[in-house]
Amino acid sequence: MPPQVRRAFLIVAAVMVVIAVAWASFFETLPPADFSLQSGTDPKTLDPHRATGNIESRLIFAMFNGLLQMLPEGEPDPESGLQPMTAQPAMAKSYDVSDSGRTYTFHLRDDIFWTDGSPVTSHDFAWSWQRMLHPGTACEYTFQLHGVPFAKEYSESTVKVGDKVEVELWDRPDDTDDKASLQNFPRGTMRYGILREIEKPDKPPLSDDASDKQIKNAEADWQETWVYHIDVAAENADGSIDWDGQTKSQTFVANLESAAKKTDTQRCHAVMIAFGKLGGLETPDYKTFVVHLKDAIPYFPNLVAYYPTFPVNKNCVEEHGSPLWTKAENIVTNGPYKLQERRLRDRLRLLKNEDYFGVNEKGYDTIDFLSMEGQNTAINMYETDQISWVTDPPAALLGELIKRDDFVSAPQLSIYYYQINIQREPLDDVRVRRAIAMAIDRKQIVEQVMKTGQLPAFTLVPPGIAGYESAKGPIFDVEAAQKLLVEAGFPGGRGIPKITLLYNTTETHRAIAEVIQQQLQNNLNVKIELQNMEWGSYLDKRKQKDYEIARAGWIADYPDPNTFLDMWITDGPQNDTNWSNQEFDRLLQDAGSEGDPAKRMKMLQAAEQIFIDEMPVIPIYFYTSLNMIKNDVEGFFPTAQDLHPIQLLQPKEGVK
């Protein structure tokens, strides 16, 4: 290279560096928000029907509003300091319950609007609930509305001959011959009718060494070749279906390559129960929303105050499609705050929605939900006044932080437990399970490991649910535990093979597991081997039931014992323990249709007693909620579900 080139190169390089630095120094800075909080990792989604988890729920509660909302009512509990929360009017100004408890009529307010200016109507709710239940939306909380007739069948996409069904033809805007449109709304052309016959072609053979996944896929592929014979009924002008009128017999199939296909068979996405046309949800007028239930659900008001049942704006979703409608420039919401800007891994900037009917004049105008991964980062930023609310204080500092007056902690409706695979020897013997449970000193765990006021758990349902008294579980009693082991044929722990304890990798889980390992070794001479895995692998192992004892936890979906109990019914989707008890199943089912709240609670208690006697899970402790909030913030109080309505937060009078 000639020297001129070299010199030119040096100059070019220097200029480039200067430009790079200049570019890097240019920031699009937002003015600081009135209130900032630690949001945690980035929310997975802002779609109320797709979201799961605490971080998402906090945001959705701020941005959307349901028929009802959880708000404080009454005085705080003097002992625990918990502020009672009840479902109170939100989009609905009032509601009536029929005497049977099976019909709820919600009367919507007149002054409620979406952020695009259009009014919120009963049709928004009917449409949103159908979207939430539609399998294409893939909501993980559909079970919350399973009390509505045909909702379960709809969300699981199951039909049987004789059902009144809906058929969605293969003509969604983006459907192509080889690929279905991923947008389930707006829907394709709909046909309604009565299912007369399902013609199933022969099942294609599978090789013997097919994996579970291949079997599952093959089953689903096969179902797509089923040909449905349907007597199609006419749709009236008002949208209702003339089920008893004249019908026309037609056939439909999802996969046109089906062997059973006729020449005039039409292609469809799916044949599902005609949920929207069967009267489960009614909209007699724009401001009245009627919900029919199969059985009385005493906690139904709590369900409609929970975010999966919140409405989303039909126009917005259909125009932009999912998930693009959740972008800050597109999203239309109806809650106390609205989204101004979303920066990935940085923040969500929320603005007070002045059009919200219950707008808090004194509330903060702008709120930053700051994404941050590190617990220490949050506490650093809190200490330097960059944020005012820490939602997840660092575990290592809890012992120090708990002494401060800006540390808010209270019992929470959630439990930490060990679940047992009851098909593994020797854990198939209930006496061994109980012996292990009785030999664990929970007090040592909560006082020496956790250190933040957690309660030792001997039952499944946490205290603090109105009207419910928990069953009696076996307490810490080493002698009785040893006796049980003798009865089970393992005197002094002899003959018990090493038991593996599976947990997902975190410091706390490890510390607890080690203490329990030590306790069982000392008290029962039972040897435990610890096995830790990162979250994904751990879940996989649990789901495959490839474990002996596994750590787990559960947070109440709604403040009712049912949320802790109904996951353990036979073949329940969360029940990875192999445990099954018909009496338990029956009690839960009966409780579901019991009209008298007191009787119902008694039945649930009886069910819990069976559960705890059989001990497919060992309760360890009940969580406490841990928050840090600056003293100049008003409207923050500890609650059993760790809910803190953001519209209630405001600066304290006279404090700058």
User: Residue 426, preceding bond cis, omega within 30 degrees?
Assistant: yes
Shortest spacing between CB 381 and other proteins, in angstroms:
5
Nearest to 86 by CA among 643, 483, 482: 643
**Of residues 632, 557, 551, 591, the one with CA closest to residue 468:** 591
List the beta bridge partners of residue 629: 389
Which helix (H) or strand (E) element contains residue 415?
A: strand 407-420
173 vs 323, beta carbon nearer other proteins: 323
Query: Which residue, 229 or 551, is less far from other proteins as judged by CB?
Result: 551
- For other proteins, give the closer residue by CB, 505 or 522: 505
Q: In what order do the strands lie in the sheet with 103-108?
A: 92-97, 103-108, 288-292, 281-285
CB neighbour list of residue 234: distance below 8 Å, 6 or more residues apart: 241, 242, 245, 246
Asked if omega into 462 is within 30° of 0 (cis), the reply is no
Measured from the CB atom, the residue of 88 and 380 that comes closer to other proteins is: 380
Closest separation between CB of residue 52 and other proteins, Å?
7
Nearest approach, Cβ of 385 to other proteins (angstroms)? 10
Q: What's the closest the beta carbon of residue 435 comes to other proteins, in angstroms?
A: 28
Task: In angstroms, give the least distance from the CB of 436 to other proteins.
Answer: 23
- The number of residues in the chain equals 656
Nearest approach in angstroms of CB 519 to other proteins is: 26
Question: Would you call 166 helix, strand, or coil by DSSP?
Answer: strand
Q: How far is the CB of 277 from other proteins (least distance, A)?
A: 20
Q: Is 103 exposed, middle or buried (0-12, 13-18, 19+ CB in 10 A)?
A: middle
Q: Distance of CA 26 to CAs 138, 155, 239, 340, 343, Å?
A: 41, 49, 56, 21, 16
Of 265 and 371, CB closest to other proteins: 371
| Residues 6+ positions from 412 with CB-CB distance below 8 Å | 462, 555, 622, 623, 624, 625, 640, 641, 642
* Max Cα distance, the chain (Å): 96
Find out whether 488 and 435 touch, Cβ atoms under 8 Å.
yes
DSSP for 118-132? Answer: PBP-HHHHHHHHHHH
Alpha helices by DSSP H, listed for 281-417, are 300-303, 314-320, 375-383, 398-401
Q: How far apart are alpha carbons 336 and 339 in whole angstroms? A: 10
447: tokens are: 């006082």
Give the nearer residue to other proteins in terms of CB position, either 270 or 646. 270
Report, in Å, the least distance between residue 86 CB and other proteins. Answer: 25
- The least CB distance from residue 3 to other proteins, in Å, is 9
Minimum gap (Å) between residue 610 Cβ and other proteins: 23
Q: Which is nearer to other proteins, 277 or 551 (CB)?
A: 551
Q: Which CB sits closer to other proteins, 71 or 139?
A: 139
For residue 40, give both structure tokens. Answer: 């945690």
Between CA 77 and CA 495 the distance in angstroms is 49
SS3 497: coil
Closest approach, Cβ 157 to other proteins, in A, equals: 4
Question: What phi and psi values does residue 397 have, to the nearest 5 degrees?
Answer: -100, 0
Q: ∠ CA(99), CA(104), CA(105), 5° rounding?
A: 110
Shortest spacing between CB 144 and other proteins, in angstroms: 12
Retrieve residue 517's tokens: 């390992």
When the beta carbons of 162 and 536 are compared against other proteins, the nearer one is: 536
Backbone angles phi, psi at 105, to 5 degrees: -115, 115
Q: How far is the CB of 627 from other proteins (least distance, A)?
A: 19
Indicate the residue among 29 and 246 with the shorter CB distance to other proteins: 29
Residues at the site binding other proteins, with contacts judged by CB under 8 A: 1, 5-6, 9-10, 13, 17, 20-21, 23-25, 27-30, 41-42, 44-47, 50, 52, 135-136, 138-140, 142, 155-158, 180, 182, 216-217, 220, 323, 326-327, 343-346, 370-374, 376-377, 380-381, 383-384, 386, 534-537, 539-541, 543, 552, 554, 573-574
Nearer to other proteins, 33 or 646 (CB): 33
Nearer to other proteins, 328 or 430 (CB): 328
142 or 459: CB nearest other proteins:
142
